[in-house]
């Protein structure tokens, strides 16, 4: 077949050579900054409660319920507080925080429960749209929960203050988009599963292609492309009658999945994602990794205007999530979201020269609730 990407140069996957070599062995997964911070916090809490000698290893829980063990790089007392360090291993992902020293300082405080703060090298949120309080530390909700759980396993409901810091974090952040997003002074403590998978590698792209091949080989005519684990769960709830093999976590490799779907005779694709990825796709960007493309909020502003809303605040939105919140506040989430999904559907159809019927659904930030779609009956 003619290559749809070459037929439509406006639909692009930047910087990904078609003949990229794939490693003959599986790439190593790694650990998120959130997981490493929870391990450091547990080590420090253990030292605070039990005293010397400090623990050499700690075990923490991932959101999936799996338990994993980490070596403690060092631990000791700083005045009345206990401090511990865990070194991040990002596996084979090209992560700027690989080797970072995630440091937790834990001290007793009056009251009950865990009070969490950011220290040196952890960014401060200065703009809305990240799902975190402005003025607070850039520690995402899942890592917050993991740190709280890890510390509570040691001290129970006693009151403690936990400060997470990352030496050299401000330098690391210069290689990220944090400043553009309004996270200043350091890195963000991230993670939704606790595990870093090498999404940005040729091998991950190859795994996406293989997943489409497997679905086609089982005679399936539909594949459901999801951007991550949360959207995949939402997609499975949305389309419960489809077998599991049809659901493919494509990460940033939508174009690769579409090309293989056409090659293997797949006739229908359902794409399920959150607003950020959908906005990039609506702009014609098929490789949506944050280092290779940005969100065009002006497109979201134009969709706002089409719905009769004021485009100016959306044009100036800090992030796609911020635009989502503005739509929600203005009562435009369904209308503007439906238009966005329709744009994405058109892009996917053009990319495949009309060989595939496409449907699109936008889910909320839990990944569970469909808030807009190109097929209205999907929306509860």
Domains of the chain: 4-26+198-378 (no CATH), 30-196 (3.30.2110.10)
pLDDT value at residue 26: 57
* Predicted local distance difference test score (pLDDT) of residue 218: 80
Does 211 score more than 70 pLDDT?
Answer: yes
Cα gap 284→215, rounded to integer Å: 26
Average pLDDT over residues 32-40: 96
Mean pLDDT estimate for the chain: 86
Q: Which of 16-30, 40-54, 141-155, 218-232 has the lowest mean pLDDT?
A: 16-30
What is the pLDDT, as a whole number, of residue 290? Answer: 44
pLDDT at 24: 40
Q: Judging by DSSP bridges, how do beta strands 101-112 and 121-122 pair with one another? A: unpaired
On the question of pLDDT at 21 being above 90, the answer is no
Which pLDDT value is given to residue 37?
98
Q: What is the pLDDT of residues 261-287, one digit of tens each?
A: 999 999 999 999 999 999 999 988 765
Proportion of the chain above pLDDT 90, given as a percent:
62
At residue 12, the pLDDT reads 42
How large is the average pLDDT for residues 85-94? 86
pLDDT, tens digit, 9 for 90 and up, residues 155-166: 999 999 999 999
Quick one: pLDDT at residue 2? 33
Lowest mean pLDDT among 61-65, 100-104, 120-124, 162-166: 61-65
User: Which pLDDT does position 27 carry in this prediction?
Assistant: 66
pLDDT mean over 365-370: 85
Q: Is the peptide bond before 265 cis (omega within 30 degrees of 0)?
A: no
Residue in 308, 100, 253, 272 with CA at minimum distance from that of residue 190: 100
Query: What is the structure's pLDDT at 199?
Result: 52
Give residue 130's pLDDT. 78
Query: So what's the pLDDT on residue 3?
Result: 35
C-alpha pair distances (Å), 237 with each of 272, 274, 342, 380: 11, 15, 21, 12
Please report the pLDDT score of residue 302 as a whole number: 95
pLDDT tens per residue across span 314-357: 999 999 999 999 999 999 999 999 999 999 999 999 999 999 99
Task: Specify the range with the lowest mean pLDDT, choosing from 50-64, 83-97, 153-167.
Answer: 83-97
Q: Which of 333, 326, 281, 279 is nearest to 307 (CA)?
A: 333
Q: What value does the CA radius of gyration of the chain take, rounded to a whole number of Å?
A: 22
Please give, one letter per residue, the 3-state secondary structure of the chain.
CCCHHHHCCCCECCCCCCCCCCCCCCCCCEECHHHHHHHHHHHHHHHHHHCCCCCCEEEEECCCCCEEEEECCEEEEECCEEEEEEECCCCCCCCCCCCCEEEEEEEEEEEECEEEEECCEECEECCCCCCCCCCCECECHHHHHHHHHHHHHHHCCEEEEEEEECCCHHHHHCCCCHHHHCEECEECECCCCCEECCCCCHHHHHHHHHHHHHHHHCCCCEEEEECCHHHHHHHHHHCCCCCHHHEEECCCEHHHHHHHHHHCCCCEEEEEECHHHHHHHHCCECECCCCCCCCCHHHHHHHHHHCCCCHHHHHCCCCHHHHHHHHHHCCCHHHHHHHHHHHHHHHHHHHCCCCCEEEEEEECCCCCCEEEECCHHHCC
pLDDT of residue 329: 95
What are the φ and ψ backbone dihedral angles of 110, each rounded to 5 degrees?
Answer: -70, 155
Report which of residues 88 and 96 the model is more confident about: 88
As a whole number of angstroms, the distance between CA 284 and CA 43 comes to 47
**Residue 1 pLDDT more than 60?**
no
């Amino acid at each position: 077949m003619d290559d749809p990407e070459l037929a439509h140069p406006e639909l692009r996957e930047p910087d990904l050579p078609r003949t990229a070599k794939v490693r003959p062995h599986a790439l190593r997964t790694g650990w998120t900054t959130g997981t490493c911070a929870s391990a450091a916090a547990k080590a420090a809490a253990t030292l605070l409660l039990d005293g010397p000698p400090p623990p050499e290893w700690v075990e923490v829980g991932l959101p999936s319920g799996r338990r994993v063990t980490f070596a403690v790089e060092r631990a000791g007392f700083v005045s009345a507080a206990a401090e511990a360090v865990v070194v991040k291993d990002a596996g084979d992902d090209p992560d700027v925080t690989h080797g970072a020293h995630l440091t937790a300082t834990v001290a007793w405080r009056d009251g009950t429960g865990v009070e969490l703060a950011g220290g040196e090298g952890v960014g401060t949120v200065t703009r809305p749209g990240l799902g975190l309080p402005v003025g607070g530390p850039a520690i995402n909700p899942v890592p917050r929960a993991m740190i709280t759980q890890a510390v509570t396993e040691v001290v129970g409901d006693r009151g403690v203050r936990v400060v997470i810091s990352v030496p050299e974090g401000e330098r690391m952040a210069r290689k990220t988009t944090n400043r553009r997003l309004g996270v200043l002074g350091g890195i963000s403590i991230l993670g939704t599963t606790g595990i870093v998978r090498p999404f940005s590698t040729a091998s991950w792209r190859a795994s996406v292609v293989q997943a489409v091949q497997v679905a086609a080989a089982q005679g399936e005519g539909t594949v459901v492309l999801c951007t991550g684990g949360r959207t995949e769960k939402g997609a499975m709830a949305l389309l419960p009658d489809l077998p599991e093999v049809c659901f493919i976590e494509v990460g940033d490799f939508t174009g690769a999945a579409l090309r293989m779907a056409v090659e293997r005779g797949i006739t229908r694709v359902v794409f399920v994602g959150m607003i950020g990825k959908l906005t990039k796709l609506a702009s014609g960007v098929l490789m949506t990794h944050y280092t290779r493309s940005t969100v065009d909020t002006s497109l979201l502003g134009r969709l706002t205007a089409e719905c009769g809303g004021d485009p100016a605040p959306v044009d100036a939105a800090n992030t796609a999530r911020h635009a989502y919140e503005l739509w929600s506040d203005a009562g435009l989430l369904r209308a503007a979201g439906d238009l966005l999904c329709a744009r994405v559907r058109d892009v996917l159809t053009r990319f495949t020269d009309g060989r595939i019927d496409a449907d699109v659904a936008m889910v909320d930030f839990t990944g569970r609730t469909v808030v807009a779609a190109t097929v209205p009956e999907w929306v509860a």
